[in-house]
Amino acid sequence: MARFSTFVETRIGLRFSPSNCGELEQRIAHAASEAGFPSSVEFVEWLTRSPPSKDQLETLASHLTVGETYFWRDKETFRVFQERVIPELVARRREEGKFLRIWSAGCATGEEPYSIAILLKETIADISEWNVTILATDINPQFIAKAVRGVYRDWSFRDAPSWLGGKYFVAAEDGDFEISPSLRGMVDFRLLNLAEDTYPSLFSNTNAMDLVFCRNVLMYFSPQVLHEVVRRLSRSLTAGGWLIVSPTEIPQVQGAPFSVVMLSGVHLLRKEEAPQAQPMALPVERLDLHASRSEVPFVDQSVFPAPAFCLEERLERATDLYQRGLYVEAVEALRSILSIAPENGDVLALLARSYANLGRLPLAREWCEKAIRADRLNPSRHFLLATIMEEQGDPQGAQTSLRQALYADQDFVLAHFSLGHSMLRLGNKRDGERHLRIALSLLQGREREETIPESDGTTVGRLRDMISGLLNGSGGS
């Protein structure tokens, strides 16, 4: 067990204390059985002797981090979420444009994100007028498939309000309960490994979140992995956004950029408001981050020509700022480039991405449309626009942009995937599954570890797993 614990911490980033030895042994036995080994000892010997693949490691991790889940788990947290957090977010967003973005990270079989959806419907009287995103992710594809199906047994309701089953579920076979279609459509389930996958990302919809639930997940990570996960989660939140972890995890997380806030006896973590960015040392005046392109200072390039190397260096610096999560600084750097190269499509597209990660979707859309006008046959820019429109609650517009991306490149695998995913969520099962299968066929023969362009670091293997999860959840194969 000591050797196995060392292996798990080194290769997967999970840490188990000696007090959890009994529980760990049970989980190893289950993983060994699924992998086809007659005993845990032989399974552990095999793992530590021959290097397993990334897929095998993730399968192992999904067994080792399985947590108990049910509707309304931790009633006090959900009470504070309903009575204090939702009203504050709603009051702020009524002024900014009715939208909310919430992420359930480590959602297991879906009870938590569905509980969130129910609370929003119970709390926001005019929720039909809002653009609500509830993202739910987990490392285990079997869990995601079950969550998409939305069928649960009595045990999942053991601590839920008595009115829940009759209001939001319908009776299914064998005494099970199936989530109502209207509620199912509120949650977007995706496969994601918090320890390794790239986020925040427009492609995985993990950007510009108002609130992240990540309960009973962080406790498994080693200190180094925990630091990286918390850093990425903080980048996924907007300034002032909330991170909800279990009470035992708060000491592991508190500290910049989070502060501990007590609301009605419950401790939550809040991301600090972003400090005012300092002006960059560039030969242009500081720019208003809310301005449109028409307000960018004009420089006559016939008088002050811009050397190509200068533009390349500036774009490289702006890209580095974006990749480090410094989106405000990236915007300033990109706007300064536009003052001397106002038609540069790459700059316009990266500016759109930066605004999207800041949660400023109208500006992101505006700049993306300008990037498209700079090159109407660039499929990646139509794909970017579709992603932004999906976040804005415009799935029909997003589908139109995805079709335009496929017109420019019929083998654009991400466009097929996103179109299929969107169609499934809107109830178009036949066409949705068709596009997902096309995407799957386009991935055949490619190495699992190959990174897919325009995907913010998603690998071929990860996308295959995501497609398989969606097909399994919809009943396809």
Query: What is the per-residue pLDDT across 239-274, written as a single tens digit (0 to 9) for each?
Result: 899 999 999 899 888 777 899 999 998 999 999 876
Beta carbons of 241 and 214 less than 8 angstroms apart:
no
Per-residue pLDDT at 293 exceeds 80: no
Whether 71 shows a pLDDT value over 50: the answer reads yes
Q: Answer whether residue 473 shows pLDDT above 80.
A: no
Does the pLDDT of residue 474 top 70, yes or no?
Answer: no
Mean pLDDT value across the chain: 86
Reply yes or no on whether the pLDDT at 10 is more than 50.
Answer: yes
**CATH class, 293-474 region:** mainly alpha
Amino acid at 205: N
Over residues 286-311, mean pLDDT? 48
The domains of the chain are located at 2-64, 75-271, 293-474
The answer to whether 415 and 383 have CB atoms below 8 angstroms apart is: yes
Note the pLDDT tens digit of each residue in 167-184: 899 988 888 999 998 898
CB of 466 within 8 A of CB of 138?
Answer: no
**Tens digits of per-residue pLDDT, 407-452?**
999 999 999 999 999 999 888 999 999 999 999 999 999 998 899 9
Q: What is the pLDDT of residue 20?
A: 67
In degrees, rounded to 5, the angle at the alpha carbon of residue 209 between the alpha carbons of residues 207 and 211 is 150
pLDDT band at 8 (very low <50, low <70, confident <90, very high): confident
The region, left, alpha or beta by phi > 0 then psi within -120 to 50, assigned to residue 101 is beta
What pLDDT score was predicted for residue 181?
87
Fold of 2-64: Chemotaxis Receptor Methyltransferase Cher; domain 1 (1.10.155)
Do the beta carbons of residue 353 and residue 391 sit within 8 Å?
no
| HEC readout, the chain | CHHHHHHHHHHCCECCCHHHHHHHHHHHHHHHHHHCCCCHHHHHHHHHHCCCCHHHHHHHHHHHCCCCCCCCCCHHHHHHHHHHHHHHHHHHHHHHCCEEEEEEECCCCCHHHHHHHHHHHHHCCCHHHCEEEEEEEECCHHHHHHHHHCEECHHHHCCCCCCHHHHHEEECHHHCEEECHHHHCCEEEEECCCCCCCCCCCCCCCCCEEEEECCCCHHHECHHHHHHHHHHHHHHEEEEEEEECCHHHHHHHCECCEEEEEECCEEEEEECCCCCCCCCCCCCCCCCCCCCHHHCCCCCCCCCCCCHHHHHHHHHHHHHHHHCCCHHHHHHHHHHHHCCCCCCHHHHHHHHHHHHHCCCHHHHHHHHHHHHHHCCCCHHHHHHHHHHHHHCCCHHHHHHHHHHHHHHCCCCHHHHHHHHHHHHHCCCHHHHHHHHHHHHHHCCCCCCCCECCCCCCCEHHHHHHHHHHHHHHHCCC
pLDDT attached to residue 200: 92
Percent of the chain surpassing pLDDT 70: 90
117-126, 175-184, 225-234, 276-285: segment of lowest average pLDDT:
276-285
Superfamily per CATH, domain 75-271 = Vaccinia Virus protein VP39 (3.40.50.150)
**Beta partners for residue 135, in sequence order:** 103, 188
**pLDDT 10s digits, 97-112:** 889 999 999 999 999 9
pTM of the model: 0.84
At residue 144, does pLDDT exceed 90?
Answer: no
* Cα–Cα distance measured from residue 470 to residue 324, given in angstroms and rounded to the nearest whole number: 31
Least confident of 42-46, 85-89, 203-207, 354-358: 42-46
